[in-house]
Amino acid sequence: MAKSSVLGYPRIGGNREWKKALEAFWAGKLEQNEFESQLRDIRVNHWRKQQEQGIDYIPVGDFSYYDQVLDTAAMFGIVPARFGYKGGPVQPSLYYGIARGTKEATASEMTKWFNTNYHYIVPELDGAQPVLTENKPLIAYREAKETLGIEGRPVLIGPLTFLKLSKGYKPSELDGWIDRLLPLYIQVLSELAQEGVEWVQVDEPVLATNISAEDIERVQRIYGAIASAVPSLKILLQTYFESVEFYTDLVALPVAGIGLDFVHGLQGNLAAIREYGFPQDKTLGAGIIDGRGIWRADLHEKLKLVRELEGIVTSDRLIIQSSCSLLHVPVTTAAESKLPEELKNALAFADEKLSELVVLTKAINGGELSVEQELSSSEAAVGALGRSAARNRTEVRTAVAAISGQEPVRSKPFGDRHAAQQSKWQLPIFPTTTIGSFPQTAEVRKARQLWRKGEWSNEQYNAFIREQIDVWIGLQEDIGLDVLVHGEFERTDMVEFFGEKLAGFAFTQFGWVQSYGSRCVKPPIIYGDVAFEEAMTVEETQYAQSKTKQPVKGMLTGPITIMNWSFVREDITREQIAYQLAYALRQEVEALEKAGIGMIQVDEPAVREGLPLKEKDQANYLDWAVKAFRMTTCTVQPETQIHTHMCYCEFHDMIDSIEAMDADVISIETSRSHGELIHSFEENTYGLGIGLGVYDIHSPRVPSVDEMTNMIDRALRVLDPKLFWINPDCGLKTRGLEETVASLRNMVDATKLAREKHSVGV
């Protein structure tokens, strides 16, 4: 009989109970015992849900107090030296200090989990002496068994993936680190085996990236050692997000099961299993239901795939599971009462995906007639959305086809534009600016809530927004910034704001997903053809500009970021969606320019996170991503200065594409990676305007002038001072008023020192 499983469940809770508990604990409003109790209740409730749905293999150990990679580092005592760790279990104050920073120590770097919208904390191995501090998967297994009688499937990140995601060692030291960690992994697994655990899920998503033959040899060594040390334990070696490399080597490993993604890795994995078959002594974890997307599956189509797999792998060796952890989708559609019916019926969040897995498993074990109603219902829902008017806007398709067939280029090259812009703006060397948003206080959030509820009129709300703009224009002038912003007080989220004003979008009430730490986002749903309807940002930007003689930047979110930070339709390509967004945003750029706004920032922080995991697919993606940005910005006059912003990513392998975007000024996050990005510019030239963020806005600490001066000095060793801007890493929406002002004052002071030092000869 086939079994059902998921690879992980959203930790945040249906009403974001997890987020609220974390933030109350951090604020000192919740004692540690109560905090632990609340998280335990959330965790147990998640197991109970899966148990009641009828999931056969329930993951345990997938729950986290912040991030699963940080959990693994803490379990092995891998703590950066600057935190003064003395050994033993990593206590909450230290754990959260690593993630968020302290007054004395900067936070560890945060970056994207493969090509998803989730961020993990990057382990720092330099100087670490790993030791098992506590067996977290064992603790989770015992808790699930004691509370609900569940024989859970413990989950842990595999050694190769953990090390590939870490920093602080040379490539030549990788094997030595495997030697250090492997005995600890074996200790964890041995204790699980002694406890009576049957299956353990060991996640090695790195095997679905472009790994080398040497890495396969490392995997063989790792899992050969584990099999010898813990022969009784069944290891499900789990991959996801793409098809695996070295399929035949992988399925020959001495493990009991192999997990493959048959959604995002469908083409490659299916081709491999068709050609080479699957070992008769292993279980196949078949990732059939999309763990990252929100769309209801056409279960008839999914069942065809499962039947084909069943012809290769007998049903008693088949686990029907999600393609990856459900961490990446909202919890449930049950409470969504405001979506169009045709859309809601076509959605499946985490809880609905549990049902889909159970239905498919029942169909395999009991025949299709046993679930005939469920199969027909899914087919009807998918078909109804496909026929909807929202997905068939001929005028949009025609216009986008016309402009996407043209090469989008500015009317003048950068050199000519730069001269024209300098003549117009007369900015000093090292212009200072911010990325766009300022603190959204409780007062701002309350005002928006009152307006959304209808308790405030549009006039009241607009007056309030203007008051906030007035305050922050004054503060920016007082601090001494050169290029100002209006502060974005009218915006809940940099993607949601635009989605609400464009056709083709829908919004959930409770569709939250974790982005990083307690930061949860509610991604828009791009379910139809995207179209511009009316100006979206002109009013606030034009008002802000009327209050100052200094330039105020218009602020937009770019097409690739809107796409990558939304749940998108699957019936057309992502490239087509990007071009629809670019065409709509181009009309907004033109409206800003017409209104007299001469600097326009089109943020693209999410370009790199959409980069395909396979190197062979990356160039094509970057080509159309760059084209979409240029489609958005290419029609403005040479004197209009186009800015963009990128963050959260490693850019050394796409510098050429960044330059090809042809933005007059780009700002890039660099401070949280401790300046490592600057190394990219030590090896590559960059001839456009650029600002490398000089302090980390994700941490509440106020950076010193010296810290920022050091960052500026290093950047100016490799970048042209005439083209260098100074700015924070990212927007300041989540920060407090006092820390924001103090940090920006220090930034301006550091800029003054830099001007004194570097202005001679410039």
Q: How much of the chain is in helix, strand and coil states, percent to nearest 5?
A: 45, 15, 40
Residues marked active site are found at 698
Which pLDDT band holds residue 649 (cuts at 50, 70, 90)? Answer: low
Q: Cα separation of 86 and 357, whole Å?
A: 45
What H or E segment, with its residue span, contains residue 715? helix 705-716
- Report all structural domains of the chain as residue ranges with CATH numbers, in order of start: 54-386 (3.20.20.210), 412-758 (3.20.20.210)
Coil, strand, or helix at residue 286? strand
pLDDT score, position 672:
53
Coil, strand, or helix at residue 687? coil
Of all residues in the chain, the percent with pLDDT exceeding 90 is 86
What H or E segment, with its residue span, contains residue 654? none
What H or E segment, with its residue span, contains residue 635? none
What H or E segment, with its residue span, contains residue 490? none
Enumerate the known binding-site residues for Zn(2+): 645, 647, 669, 730
Which pLDDT band holds residue 762 (cuts at 50, 70, 90)? Answer: very low
Which pLDDT band holds residue 194 (cuts at 50, 70, 90)? Answer: very high
pLDDT in tens, 99-128: 999 989 999 999 889 999 899 999 999 999
pLDDT score, position 637:
97
| SS (HEC) of 352-419 | HHHHHHHHHHHHHHHCHHHHHHHHHHHHHHHHHHHCCHHHCCHHHHHHHHHHHCCCCCCCCCHHHHHH
pLDDT score, position 687:
87
Question: ∠ at Cα 690 (684, 693), nearest 5°?
Answer: 105
pLDDT score, position 95:
97
pLDDT in tens, 375-433: 999 999 999 999 999 999 999 999 999 999 999 999 999 999 999 999 999 999 999 99
pLDDT at 462 over 50: yes
pLDDT score, position 734:
85
- Distance of CA 275 to CAs 248, 260, 323, 624, Å? 10, 15, 21, 33
Helices (H), 480-556: 496-499, 538-546
Q: Cα separation of 706 and 429, whole Å?
A: 19
pLDDT score, position 761:
46
pLDDT score, position 699:
75
Phi, psi of 451 (to 5 degrees): -65, -45
Question: ∠ at Cα 480 (477, 481), nearest 5°?
Answer: 85
**Ordered strands of the 641-646 beta sheet:** 553-557, 599-603, 641-646, 665-668, 689-692, 724-725
Enumerate the known binding-site residues: 16-19, 112, 117, 435-437, 488, 519-520, 565, 603, 609, 645, 647, 669, 730
Q: Across residues 422-451, what is the average pLDDT?
A: 94
Q: Cα separation of 531 and 166, whole Å?
A: 42
- Among 285-289, 528-532, 678-682, the least confident range: 678-682
Q: State pTM to two decimals.
A: 0.90
Buried residues in 403-431 as b, exposed as e (16+ CB within 10 A): ebeeebebeeebeebbebbeeebebeebb
